Amino acid sequence: MTKRILERPIIYTERVGDSHFIGSRPSVTYCLWGLMQYSEKKGISLAEVNALTGYAFSLNIFKETVHIGGPFIFAGEENFPQALSNLGNDVKVLSFLPVEPLIVTDVLNTIHESIDRGLPVIMWDLFHAEFGLVYGYNDKEQQLYALDKIKEETLPYKQIGKGETSEVGLIAFTEPNNIDRLTALCNMLDMVWEHGNMKESIKHVDGDLTKGLAAYDAWIEAFRGDKIVPFFNAYNIAVYSELRQFAVQFLRGIKEEFVAYDWTFITDALHHYETVASALQGLSDLFPFPDGGDPSDPQNIVKAVNLLQEAKKAETNGLKALKHLREALGALQAGAS
């Protein structure tokens, strides 16, 4: 029988509003940031984590209802492990799996191996349907030491996968991959461009899912329909408004990082994403989370459509500027090899 408890994660340290999140509502990248504080990349910013994974530039919207599941799709996508590898570590990912004995055994083994190496594990739906961190285990007591935005307490082994969603999800760092800065940036920008320009919607259990620029059109049509769920809508706005703020912070850092090259397209990208962030903040003011406002009010619909059209136009131009950045970084990368 063994027991090991790591130093408590430095996230979720005080309650702010409806949660323990401090400056971050998207829990998966917030937990990734917390996990990285145990690695050789301790000190990385939250904006960097959100941007390098591509999440800061993502938009996943379910048609008609703007279902709350949209922001969570990111962690279940096929290229999610690739996105996380930009942070400097290869990863093991189990995404929203049904609860089966072999899966639970795999989860427990992975938790033990990771914590024994000094790294917590991110898990889905520990105490509610968000991501949290497991930072200790006790085999004698058959329990994990964990926290998420709602609770910090022990979780019995037998309760794994028996939360609100009855699903199991896990993210664990396996080993450093020694990815260099230019490669990580180029990988990220490739993913951002592909995501932003996806045309076809995807069939999903929660409805038809749209991505990138096309998601703005789906969101606009949802406002013109009569099926938007106010709480769902407000959650999507809260997440994507915050993500675009991270995009802005990241691009400000990129501008400083490559100031010697005097690349005007970085300034252009920054300007366009500042406009996107401002427009989405306007939406957040109209439909605050968690109350949700009234997305069926005719005046609110007009305002919302105008703001989403403004955001889409700016993001369209922002993506073009990011493509120029990708080409420039690719040239640097080729010159360095």
238 and 303 belong to one structural domain: yes
| Residue 279 within any structural domain of the chain | yes
- The CA distance from 304 to 9, in Å, is 38
285 and 267 belong to one structural domain: yes
- Domain extent, residue 99, equals 1-44+89-176
Q: Which of 161, 176, 191 is the last residue of a domain?
A: 176
65 and 195 belong to one structural domain: yes
221 and 166 belong to one structural domain: no
What the block records as the tokens of 245 is: 């703020």
Number of domains in the chain: 2
Q: Please list, in sequence order, all residues whose beta carbon lies within 8 angstroms of the beta carbon of residue 320, skipping any fewer than 6 positions away.
A: none
In 3D space, the residue among 172, 208, 164, 170 whose CA is nearest the CA of residue 67 turns out to be 208
pLDDT in tens, the chain (337 residues): 699 999 998 887 655 554 444 444 678 999 999 999 999 899 899 999 999 999 999 999 999 999 999 999 999 999 999 999 999 999 999 988 889 999 999 999 999 999 999 999 999 999 988 899 999 999 999 999 999 888 889 999 999 999 999 999 999 999 999 999 999 999 999 999 999 999 988 888 888 999 999 999 999 999 999 899 999 999 999 999 999 999 999 999 999 999 999 899 999 999 999 999 999 999 999 999 888 999 999 999 999 999 999 999 999 999 999 999 999 999 999 887 6
271 and 260 belong to one structural domain: yes
In 3D space, the residue among 61, 68, 59, 69 whose CA is nearest the CA of residue 221 turns out to be 61
- The CA distance from 31 to 49, in Å, is 10
309 and 257 belong to one structural domain: yes
| Residue 80 within any structural domain of the chain | no
- The CA distance from 156 to 138, in Å, is 9
187 and 156 belong to one structural domain: no
| Residue 103 within any structural domain of the chain | yes
Q: Assess contact for 315 and 196: CB atoms under 8 A.
A: yes
Q: Which of 127, 151, 176 is the last residue of a domain?
A: 176
187 and 289 belong to one structural domain: yes
Q: What is the pLDDT of residue 20?
A: 40
144 and 219 belong to one structural domain: no
Q: Which of 176, 209, 244 is the last residue of a domain?
A: 176
165 and 296 belong to one structural domain: no
What the block records as the tokens of 84 is: 């996380």
Q: What are phi and psi of 322, to 5 degrees?
A: -65, -30
| Residue 166 within any structural domain of the chain | yes
| Residue 78 within any structural domain of the chain | no
Tell me which residue has tokens 């408004």: 241
36 and 100 belong to one structural domain: yes
| Residue 295 within any structural domain of the chain | yes
| Residue 189 within any structural domain of the chain | yes
| Residue 79 within any structural domain of the chain | no
Q: Assess contact for 224 and 63: CB atoms under 8 A.
A: no
119 and 263 belong to one structural domain: no
- The CA distance from 184 to 57, in Å, is 15
Q: What is the pLDDT of residue 125?
A: 93
SS (H, E, C) the chain: CCEEECCCCCCCCCCECCECCCCCCCHHHHHHHHHHCCCCCCCCCHHHHHHHCCHHHCCEEECCCCCCCHHHHHHHCCCHHHHHHCCCEEEEEEEEEECCHHHHHHHHHHHHHHHHCCCCEEEECCCCCCEEEEEEEECCCCEEEEECCCCEEEEEHHHCCCCCCCEEEEEEEEEECCCCHHHHHHHHHHHHHHHHCCCCCEEECCEEEEECHHHHHHHHHHHHCCCCCHHHHHHHHHHHHHHHHHHHHHHHHHHHHCHHHCCHHHHHHHHHHHHHHHHHHHHHHHCCCCCCCCCCCHHHHHHHHHHHHHHHHHHHHHHHHHHHHHHHHHHHHHHHC
